[in-house]
A and B are shown apart, each in its own frame.
Chain A
Amino acid sequence: DVKVTQSSRYLVKRTGEKVFLECVQDMDHENMFWYRQDPGLGLRLIYFSYDVKMKEKGDIPEGYSVSREKKERFSLILESASTNQTSMYLCASSLSGTGGASSYNEQFFGPGTRLTVL
Chain B
Amino acid sequence: AQSVSQHNHHVILSEAASLELGCNYSYGGTVNLFWYVQYPGQHLQLLLKYFSGDPLVKGIKGFEAEFIKSKFSFNLRKPSVQWSDTAEYFCAVKTGGGNKLTFGTGTQLKVEL
Residues of A at the B interface (CB closer than 8 Å) are 4, 31, 33, 35, 40-45, 48, 50, 58, 90, 92, 94, 96-97, 100-107, 109-112
CB closest chain-A residue, reference B52 = A102
A111 near B43 with CB under 8 A, answer yes
Report chain A residues within 8 Å CB of B103.
35, 42-44
Q: Would you call the interface of chain B mostly helix, strand, loop, or mixed?
A: loop
CB closest chain-B residue, reference A35 = B103
Q: Which of A40, A58, A94, A106 contacts B9, CB < 8 Å?
A: A40
Give 14 new A-B contacts, CB below 8 A, not counting A42-B105, A101-B95.
A4-B43, A31-B99, A40-B9, A42-B90, A42-B103, A44-B103, A45-B101, A96-B99, A97-B98, A101-B29, A101-B30, A101-B96, A102-B30, A106-B46
What CA separation (Å) do A90 and B44 show in the bound complex?
Answer: 9
**Can you give 5 A-B contacts (C-beta < 8 A)?**
A45-B100, A101-B95, A102-B30, A109-B44, A109-B45
B43 near A94 with CB under 8 A, answer no
